[in-house]
Amino acid sequence: MPLEAMIRKLKVSNELDQHDINEIRALPIQMRRLDADAVIVRERDRPEQCCLVSEGFLIRAKMTDRGKRQILSIHVPGDIPDLQSLHLHVMDHDLRTLSESVVGLISHEALRKLTRSRPTVAAALWKESLIDSAVFREWIVNLGVRPAQQRLAHFLLELRQRLTAIGRYCDETFTLPMTQLDLADALGMTAIHVNRVIQASRAEGLFEFRRNEVHLKDLKRLSELSGFDPVYLHQRADL
Amino acid sequence: MPLEAMIRKLKVSNELDQHDINEIRALPIQMRRLDADAVIVRERDRPEQCCLVSEGFLIRAKMTDRGKRQILSIHVPGDIPDLQSLHLHVMDHDLRTLSESVVGLISHEALRKLTRSRPTVAAALWKESLIDSAVFREWIVNLGVRPAQQRLAHFLLELRQRLTAIGRYCDETFTLPMTQLDLADALGMTAIHVNRVIQASRAEGLFEFRRNEVHLKDLKRLSELSGFDPVYLHQRADL
DNA sequence: CGGTGGTTTGATCAAAATCAAGTGAGGTGG
DNA sequence: CCACCTCACTTGATTTTGATCAAACCACCG
């Protein structure tokens, strides 16, 4: 049922009619279970299909010539993290699993056929990639101007918002299968510093982060601190 | 002739047939001259048209609640920096001129009509927005992992590459109407530090930057230093 | 001329990186 | 069942990078 997750996700920002939905449901999809930390596509690959997340967490990341890694985004069920490969034929970054995951592979051919036959779906997918872009912009702001603690808080609040939209956030708690080193590579800091920021935040009663579980304890102060404003996620107002 | 610049730009990454090109040429466009540092659209606006750059430089930027500014991207003739507004109705950032500029405004309505009648053009525009996204990703890497001097060098080399594609780079020299403060806001550092990095780079014979003119003196060392690799710009191989 | 915006310099400070050891929990094999 | 291994996390000491503060300087412009 990963296509259901995709439909649900698309509906977060798009209007689709029954016909569109039926055509999406009819997409040929090849399910695949993947271990944690498995490579899905690598920089410079030329994939022939897109990857729809069904279960688990994925990241996109880029390595520099100096051997440093920058995590570019984190992906949750319903996302199609390599949708861009439909038009950009060479990958400019890696796509990997964070945790054990289930993904559905959909061939570019099938997707292209769908976008030709259903312009509304094409527009919805285009829009998804534009939201993806908006998330990158906010990530730039996060790295560029926010100090470490605010940066982490903002990251967590974004994730909270996105997980809420797919019904995977409740009791102010969610799963986040990232090590402190992963967080460091996402937030442009060192693991040691991430650790110190986590401890400081814990001491201040902002949130707990233990064994891949995040528990947000003071949403109000977290959003003041981080300046998180969900406008850039372009979700429908009624969510 | 700003539509010619757009066509030229689209051709950098796309194949368009004569019919497509004719339809693009037929787009109704309203030309406008703008002063330096003029606002085109602001965060939270809901624009009804897109802005095609004809002459000059534009930036996209976001302000935080703390009053800090992060520049997200820089735009040159041929770009449509707010193409995303076609599908994302609320602006999540500002678009302003850097220098005195000429832009062409094209209504969303006309663009939507064009994308419906010419699927190839729709795909080309989608692809442009995906390249935009790829540029954001590299910007994230720049902010996240590269130290100040490499960061600036990378920024300049990207600009060089993009200006070359539109024929505005020659003799290893190009116009860059940014103050050191603008550079600072783009690169996530302070103007003072930008100044020191520029001076150091000048002393090392890497480049000169005076009165809005950049002169690259040692391309080889600049690219080694910055690790610049143009793959992410997704330009056609034959450029 | 004096203002103004941009650049430059120097001195000091703070945030985060780096270096160097730990601890501690879970998993494996003897 | 326990020794031990590994990976993640934690702590402390030290250094570096870049930020902040303060004050010129300089060129262009009205």
pLDDT of residue B43: 96
In the predicted model, is pLDDT for residue B139 greater than 90? Answer: yes
Residue of A113, A58, A128, A49 whose CA lies nearest to A85: A49
Residue of B135, B134, B143, B131 whose CA lies nearest to B185: B143
CA of B211 to C1' of D28 (A): 12
Give tens-digit pLDDT for B2-56: 788 888 888 878 888 899 999 999 999 999 999 999 999 999 999 999 999 999 9
Residue B211 structure tokens: 């009165």
Angle of helix A180-187 relative to helix A191-203, nearest 10 degrees, comes to 100
Pair B49, B104: CB distance under 8 Å: no
Give tens-digit pLDDT for B111-136: 999 999 998 899 999 999 999 999 99
What mean pLDDT, rounded, does chain A reach?
94
In the predicted model, is pLDDT for residue B193 greater than 70? Answer: yes
First to last CA, chain A: 22
pLDDT confidence bin for A238, thresholds 50/70/90? low
- Say yes or no for a CB contact (<8 Å) between B144 and A70: yes
Q: Confirm or reject contact between B230 and chain A (CB < 8 A).
A: no
Cα A98 to Cα A56, A176, B191: the distances in Å are 8, 9, 38
Q: Confirm or reject contact between A133 and chain B (CB < 8 A).
A: yes
In the predicted model, is pLDDT for residue B186 greater than 60? Answer: yes
Determine what percent of chain A is predicted with pLDDT higher than 90: 87
pLDDT confidence bin for A58, thresholds 50/70/90? very high
In the predicted model, is pLDDT for residue A183 greater than 60? Answer: yes
Question: Edge to edge, what strands does the sheet with A173-175 contain?
Answer: A173-175, A213-216, A207-210
Range with the lowest mean pLDDT among B3-17, B67-81, B99-113, B217-231?
B3-17
CA of A191 to C1' of D17 (A): 18
Pair A58, A74: CB distance under 8 Å: yes
**B contact residues 53-72, partner A, Cβ 8 Å cutoff:** 60, 62, 64-66, 68-70, 72
Give tens-digit pLDDT for B152-169: 999 999 999 999 999 999
Report how far residue B146's alpha carbon sits from residue A48's, in angstroms, rounded to the nearest whole number: 32
What mean pLDDT, rounded, does chain B reach?
94
The H-or-E segment that residue A34 falls in is strand A30-34
Q: Which nucleotide is nearest to B194 (CA to C1')?
A: D18
> B10 Cβ partners below 8 Å, 6+ apart?
B16, B24, B124, B125, B128
In the predicted model, is pLDDT for residue B238 greater than 80? Answer: no
pLDDT of residue A3: 86
**A contact residues 179-218, partner B, Cβ 8 Å cutoff:** 185, 187-188
Q: What would the mean pLDDT of A202-227 be, rounded to a whole number?
A: 95
Q: CA B23, B27, B33, B37 torsion: positive or negative?
A: negative
- Say yes or no for a CB contact (<8 Å) between B231 and A143: no
pLDDT of residue B8: 85
CA of B222 to C1' of C28 (A): 50
- Return the amino acid letter for A152: L
First to last CA, chain B: 22
Q: What would the mean pLDDT of B55-71 be, rounded to a whole number?
A: 96
Q: What is the pTM of this model?
A: 0.95
> A36 Cβ partners below 8 Å, 6+ apart?
A97, A98, A99, A100, A101, A177
Place of tokens 């939270």: B44
Q: What would the mean pLDDT of A53-64 be, rounded to a whole number?
A: 96
**A contact residues 1-40, partner B, Cβ 8 Å cutoff:** none
Report how far residue B207's alpha carbon sits from residue B173's, in angstroms, rounded to the nearest whole number: 10
pLDDT confidence bin for A239, thresholds 50/70/90? low
Q: Confirm or reject contact between B139 and chain A (CB < 8 A).
A: yes
Give tens-digit pLDDT for A112-166: 999 999 988 999 999 999 999 999 999 999 999 999 999 999 999 999 999 999 8
- Residue B38 CA, distance from chain mean position: 16
Helix residue ranges per DSSP H, B146-190: 148-165, 180-187
Question: Edge to edge, what strands does the sheet with A49-55 contain?
Answer: A30-34, A101-107, A49-55
